[in-house]
């Protein structure tokens, strides 16, 4: 949900001042214009000589600055807000389901040592930074399977994560859509909104309809994708050093279809983070997960009063009253 959709006022009764300020501004401005009609009864040469600041009669007047300052002040008093301040204990329990692709494509050596090893390092780095948060692990290839239910103990997850290998997966292939119902069931009893993180080497086009239908549901967990590998791919190697072969007898194609990734972003509304050296990718995932959490309905959270955004321009306009000659007769 965007900030514009969340925007509302904490004290909306102050908004009744807006039409009153507009009415006062109009009355004063109209009176100044009406006062100028008296000059029609005076000879032109005398009117020009007797009129003070006649060239600036249509410029900004004191009432204009006063009205704008009062409008800003009224909006500030109404308490505009568009975001919440989560309670600390709420953010510490945000659940995460990591869905790790365990296929032969993850054996590719385009990132060192392999895509699967790099994925393990990144996942461990991520969950270590989320101290106190519940994390679950799902492994998928042609089918999806729960490896570890939600837990806060990283030492329990680590050996299971390190033991995952394509050879132990019961069905070949890559069916990311099979993860969604399992993850949703795991997060159904959680008190806070969760995130399903796909750590993989990309998606297939057939996954897009299931992802689009899932993200369109109002009660579904947020989905995030972390894609490991380069667009060109590399050579997928078996433990004995021999290349992985596809059904046609050639080397397995491990390239990443960037067109499908763009469709996943646009059609399924799933953010995609690409792996890179350093920890910028992990920090980006953390930011995305925290952004999902901020959209949750925390009963102890409080709306952040954004009045100061409007108080500052009002105060700057009030400073104009210290300008010589900037006075007003009501």
pLDDT digits (tens, 9 = 90+) for 133-160: 889 999 999 999 999 998 888 889 999 9
Strands of 144-151's sheet in order across: 144-151, 135-140, 96-101, 195-200, 222-227, 272-274
The tokens 């109209």 sit on which residue? Answer: 30
CA-to-CA distance for 228 and 122, rounded, in angstroms? Answer: 10
Give the burial string for 211-220 (b: 16+ CB within 10 Å, else e).
Answer: bbebbeeeeb
Cβ neighbours of residue 52 under 8 Å, at least 6 residues apart?
none
Kindly report, as residue ranges, where domains of CATH 3.40.50.410 are found in the chain: 88-294
pLDDT mean over 100-120: 95
Q: How many CB atoms sit inside 10 A of residue 154's CB?
A: 14
Fold type of domain 88-294: Rossmann fold (3.40.50)
The reply to whether the predicted model has a pTM over 0.75 is: no
CA-to-CA distance for 199 and 222, rounded, in angstroms? Answer: 14
Tokens representing 32 are: 């100044």
**pLDDT surpassing 60 at residue 316:** yes
pLDDT digits (tens, 9 = 90+) for 270-282: 999 999 988 999 9
Helix (H) or strand (E) holding 96: strand 96-101
DSSP per-residue letters across 248-281 = TSSBPP----HHHHHHHHHHH---EEE--SSSHH
pLDDT digits (tens, 9 = 90+) for 9-68: 889 999 999 999 899 888 887 776 655 555 556 666 666 666 655 554 456 677 788 888
Cβ neighbours of residue 45 under 8 Å, at least 6 residues apart?
none
Tokens representing 13 are: 């009764």
Q: What pLDDT sits at residue 277?
A: 87
CA-to-CA distance for 236 and 167, rounded, in angstroms? Answer: 13
HSE-CB of 59 using CA atoms within 13 angstroms: 4
């Amino acid at each position: 949900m965007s900030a514009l959709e969340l925007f509302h006022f904490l004290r909306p009764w102050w908004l009744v001042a807006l039409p009153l300020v507009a009415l006062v501004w109009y009355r004063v401005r109209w009176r100044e214009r009406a006062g100028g009609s008296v000059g029609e009864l005076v000879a032109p040469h005398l009117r020009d000589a007797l009129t003070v600041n006649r060239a600036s009669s249509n410029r900004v007047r004191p009432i204009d600055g006063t009205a704008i300052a009062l409008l800003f002040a009224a909006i500030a008093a109404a308490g505009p807000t568009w975001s919440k301040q989560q309670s600390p204990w709420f953010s510490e329990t945000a659940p995460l389901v990591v869905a790790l692709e365990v296929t032969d494509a993850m054996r590719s050596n385009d990132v060192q040592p392999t895509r699967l090893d790099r994925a393990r390092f990144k996942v461990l780095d991520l969950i270590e930074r989320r101290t106190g948060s519940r994390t679950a692990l799902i492994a998928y290839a042609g089918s999806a399977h729960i490896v570890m239910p939600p837990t806060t103990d990283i030492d329990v997850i680590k050996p299971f994560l390190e033991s995952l290998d394509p050879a132990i997966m019961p069905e070949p292939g890559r069916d990311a859509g099979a993860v969604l119902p399992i993850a949703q069931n795991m997060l159904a009893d959680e008190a806070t909104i969760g995130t399903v993180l796909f750590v993989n080497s990309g998606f297939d086009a057939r996954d897009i309809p299931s992802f689009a239908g899932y993200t369109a549901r109002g009660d579904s967990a947020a989905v995030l994708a972390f894609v490991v590998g380069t667009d060109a791919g590399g050579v997928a190697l078996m433990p004995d050093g021999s290349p992985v072969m596809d059904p046609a007898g050639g080397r397995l194609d491990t390239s990443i279809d960037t067109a499908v990734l763009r469709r996943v972003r646009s059609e399924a509304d799933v953010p995609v983070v690409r792996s890179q050296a350093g920890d910028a990718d992990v920090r980006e995932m953390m930011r995305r997960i925290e952004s999902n959490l901020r959209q949750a309905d925390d009963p102890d959270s409080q709306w952040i009063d954004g009045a100061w955004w409007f108080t500052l321009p009002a105060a700057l306009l009030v400073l104009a009253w210290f300008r010589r000659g900037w006075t007003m007769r009501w």
